[in-house]
Structure 1
Amino acid sequence: MHILIATAGSHGDVAPYTGLGARLRQAGHRVVMATHARSAETVRRSGLGFRPLPLDRYATSGTGSQQGDGSGKGGSGAGLSKVEQIKLARELAPEMADAVAEACASGAEVVLLSSSLAPLGLVATEGLGLPSLGVFLQPLAPTREFPPVIFDMPSMGPFTNRAAARCAESLLARAFAPGVRHLQRRLSVPQAALDRRRATWPVQHGFSPAVVPRPADWRPGMEVAGYWWPSEDPDWTPEPRLADFLQSGPPPVYVGFGSMQPSDPERLGRLVARALKLAGVRGVVQASWAGLSVDGDEVLTVGEVPHAWLFPRMSAVVHHAGAGTTAAGLRAGVPAVPVPMMLDQPFWAARLTALRVSPGKVPFRRLSAENLAEAVRKAVHDPRYRHRARQVSSLIGAEDGAARVLTAVEHLAER
């Protein structure tokens, strides 16, 4: 069976699907991933076919950036506001819609859609008569049990949580509306047919039910599968300087902010260096898109290193609380200090605290060397966090999220 996986976003929005795709390929299916051109090497290295989508302008325009410099004060020009992001998405939606439709029409028999492309992919698959399945990394469907994941707000009770989620849905629908209407006209998809498909569309969620249990008020067809782990390169080995650093002292603390781009990475680097020194710990700092670089005898700055290899060797992990990095930390069984910046990150940071694997979040806008150092000290030295982290890791390790999707795909194809 020819399966197309379509996704968009940062590296963290692509990597889990490489592992999912590899699992489907191992089951005998042909798997092609359609996403950003900059992810081609990552996808092909996983043994999957690759089809580029014209998404890099959206990805690099600031929509994945956080305004701020790590000083607790806002930066300028480092990102776009939510209104600007919606405006840009509306401008690009017709072009993206055509590319998604063409990818679906290139021989796919089943289409798997991430949340970022689902509004367009649903129209395309309805118009082309293709079975499709949502494969989401976040719990986006409205529920009374927690507030919408893209809004940084506390739970306000069942009614308000669900109402706020409807508001979030409306904002997302507005962003994609030009592309949806464009595809409806192009593929002759009536609104009634699209509404019917949306009402019963199956969605598998790529996170653990131990982390976010399936809400009781979700409709049938919305399921929590378990995590999909990024495909691993069997030939990867650490650089000697990293291996030597890890062997030269006690387990260090990891610090990294993934695809976030602070406006002043040098200032953020100095803040991180001071926090690690105040906490009295060694550190491994990942440069990533943030461009961090921290010097010192007790700190090592590294480039790309697989989190599946690195995190189990850490005493704690400090990160932006993106869905993928959060998952990697939980899998490793190490305490976390989340520093959320935007979108779904505060939601995952709150989950880490609720799971008792973290002493609490340190919001990026209020980040200082002192409050980061205090959180790191608690995470490293209070044994309750490590004990609980190992318990959660054990629960996650017993799950097989990719197998759940494989079963769902094969059932879908049999209809």
Structure 2
Amino acid sequence: MRLTLLTVGSRGDVQPFVALGAGLARAGHEVRLATHPRYERLVTGAGLEFAPLAEGHLSRGTETAAGRAWIEKGSYRLPTWVGFLRDARSVADRRLADAAAACEGAQAIVASNLAFVLGWQMADHLRVPLVRAYIEPPAWMFPSKRRAARLAPAIRQVAWAAAKPWLDGVRRRAIGIGRVPLREPFAGLDRSGSLVLYAFSREVLDPPATAGRRAEVTGYWFTDTTFDPEPPPGLEAFLADGAPPVSIGFATMIDPDPAASTAFVVKALALAGRRAVLIRGDQPIDAAALPDEVFVIDTVSHAWLFPRCAAAVHYAPAGTTAAALRAGIPSVTIPHMTDQFLWARRLHELGVAPEPIPRLELTAERLGEAIRVASGGVEMRGRAAALGQRIRAEDGVGRAVELIGRELGVPPPGPGAPARAERPASTLAANPHP
């Protein structure tokens, strides 16, 4: 069967779909993965067909200077999603046109939470099935958000009605199709029993009853394919020359002054008595100015680095949280937006992380103490190792592939089954929406 997967956002939003796409391809499906152009190598490196989706300045979150500036200056005054909604609007026409091209000939569409509206529009227009595939549950589903859960349908409908004139215009300009319906689509999909996949482990989180009767928690979608550069020899020598270090993702700090943030980290490490691998990303950090106990690197595979570390310091995004759990190491979490607070809280409740430190409450002393507890606590390290072993035993991709095949009425591949389904002719122009 010809499938198109749609996902937008940061690498943590994309890499699980690369793993899922590879699993679907192994099962005999013909898979096209549509996402931002900067991830083309990630997609093609897994043997999948790539299609581009336009990218706004905030699409990659804290991976970009614009994203970090928004989080630092704006997200404490406005809900974080407001900034990303504005960002999506800035590229909406191009992104919808890209999605239409990516879905040409698709017999089914799988869409991430951030790409849901794109996926729903294409599935509705082409009259093909839609599978929702989320790497995290909506925040309003959880106990601290019970009031929001009760109000969610009304809030979604109000937001949909407000966005409808604009969305109608985007559809007309971008691909020449008609208006969206008056009713928002989430409720209809839930009533119909449409499949929703959650790409995390039941060892970490069970979705509550409000998630819907077709919600399936599959386990994490990991890939063992390496997309990052090979670790430099200097890093391997650093790791071998002492006690396991802690890993620190620099995006955690979100500071307009990288030098000040670096000094902050060095002080916390000294207080904890720990070495560190500092992943600086695109930040201008002068490695030569740092003590020998800190190794600076632009990027490295979490799957390679984390098992060699005593703990990981991060802001609890879904992808990094999953990597730390899989590696079986404790975390130190500094959440500052959206689902990060959920994952940070769950890690602490599971006993594999100290209490989360909200970004605005972060001090060198608090960070140093949390690093000391996470990297040196025998019980915490034992719990993390045991949980990691259970998570590594799961096959989230295999379970998701099985459920998607069952949803689409595709029998499991057997001996002599064709490797690829025949691609149907395009139906985009032939199926105008009323």
Are 1:114 and 2:112 counterparts?
yes
Tell me which amino acid in the other structure corresponds to 1:308: A
Aligned residue runs from structure 1 range 143-182, under 5 A:
143=141, 145-146=142-143, 155=144, 158=146, 160-163=147-150, 165=152, 169=156, 173=160, 177=164, 178-179=166-167, 182=170
CA distance in 1 between partners of 2:18 and 2:321 (Å): 17
Matching residue of 1:45: 45
CA distance in 2 between partners of 1:410 and 1:261 (Å): 41
Matching residue of 1:396: 391
Distance 1:263 1:95, change over 3 A: same
Tell me which amino acid in the other structure corresponds to 2:278: V
Matching residue of 2:133: 135
- Aligned-residue identity in percent: 35
Distance 1:261 1:109, change over 3 A: farther
Matching residue of 2:328: 333
Matching residue of 1:90: 89
Cα deviation, residue 64, structure 1: 3.4
Aligned residue runs from structure 1 range 197-212, under 5 A:
197=189, 199-200=191-192, 201-212=194-205
Distance 1:264 1:172, change over 3 A: farther
Contact 2:228/2:301 (8 A) holds in 1? no
Single out whichever of 396-405 and 165-174 deviates more from structure 2.
165-174
Alignment partner of 1:246: what SS? helix
| Match for residue 262 of structure 2 among 265, 269, 274 | 269
Tell me which amino acid in the other structure corresponds to 1:283: A
Residue deviations 1:268-308 (CA, integer Å, cap 9, x gap): 11111111111111100101245555521111011221111
Tell me which amino acid in the other structure corresponds to 2:9: G
| Match for residue 177 of structure 2 among 183, 186, 192 | 186
Single out whichever of 384-393 and 314-323 deviates more from structure 2.
384-393
Alignment partner of 1:50: what SS? strand
Q: Please, what TM-score do these two structures have when normalized by structure 2?
A: 0.82
Contact 1:282/1:298 (8 A) holds in 2? yes
* Higher gyration radius (CA): 2
Are 1:10 and 2:3 counterparts?
no
Matching residue of 1:227: 220
Distance 1:18 1:362, change over 3 A: same
Contact 2:248/2:313 (8 A) holds in 1? yes
CA distance in 2 between partners of 1:353 and 1:257 (Å): 21
Cα deviation, residue 95, structure 1: 3.5
Residue deviations 1:19-57 (CA, integer Å, cap 9, x gap): 111111122222111011111111111111110111244
CA distance in 2 between partners of 1:250 and 1:109 (Å): 52
Distance 1:359 1:189, change over 3 A: closer
Aligned residue runs from structure 1 range 268-307, under 5 A:
268-290=261-283, 292=285, 295-307=290-302
Contact 2:157/2:183 (8 A) holds in 1? no
Q: Please, what TM-score do these two structures have when normalized by structure 1?
A: 0.86
Matching residue of 1:123: 121
Are 1:367 and 2:365 counterparts?
no
Contact 1:226/1:400 (8 A) holds in 2? yes
Single out whichever of 48-57 and 372-381 deviates more from structure 2.
48-57
Instruction: Give RMSD over aligned pairs.
Output: 3.1
Single out whichever of 272-281 and 88-97 deviates more from structure 2.
88-97
Residue deviations 1:60-111 (CA, integer Å, cap 9, x gap): 686732557xxxxx5589998744443343343344233223321x222221
Tell me which amino acid in the other structure corresponds to 2:299: E
CA distance in 1 between partners of 2:155 and 2:204 (Å): 22
Distance 1:276 1:172, change over 3 A: farther
Matching residue of 1:150: none
Distance 1:40 1:79, change over 3 A: farther
Cα deviation, residue 11, structure 1: 1.1
Distance 1:62 1:250, change over 3 A: closer
**Structure 1 residues without counterparts, runs of 5 or longer:** 69-73, 147-154
CA distance in 1 between partners of 2:140 and 2:78 (Å): 26
Are 1:387 and 2:378 counterparts?
no
Single out whichever of 389-398 and 298-307 deviates more from structure 2.
389-398
Matching residue of 2:237: 244
Cα deviation, residue 309, structure 1: 1.0
CA distance in 2 between partners of 1:167 and 1:353 (Å): 33
CA distance in 2 between partners of 1:47 and 1:162 (Å): 40
Cα deviation, residue 266, structure 1: 1.9
Alignment partner of 2:177: what SS? helix
Single out whichever of 242-251 and 26-35 deviates more from structure 2.
26-35
Tell me which amino acid in the other structure corresponds to 2:399: R
Distance 1:351 1:276, change over 3 A: same
Aligned length: 398
Tell me which amino acid in the other structure corresponds to 2:366: N
Matching residue of 2:404: 409
Distance 1:337 1:234, change over 3 A: closer
| Match for residue 314 of structure 1 among 285, 309, 321 | 309
**Structure 2 residues without counterparts, runs of 5 or longer:** 411-434
CA distance in 2 between partners of 1:124 and 1:411 (Å): 21
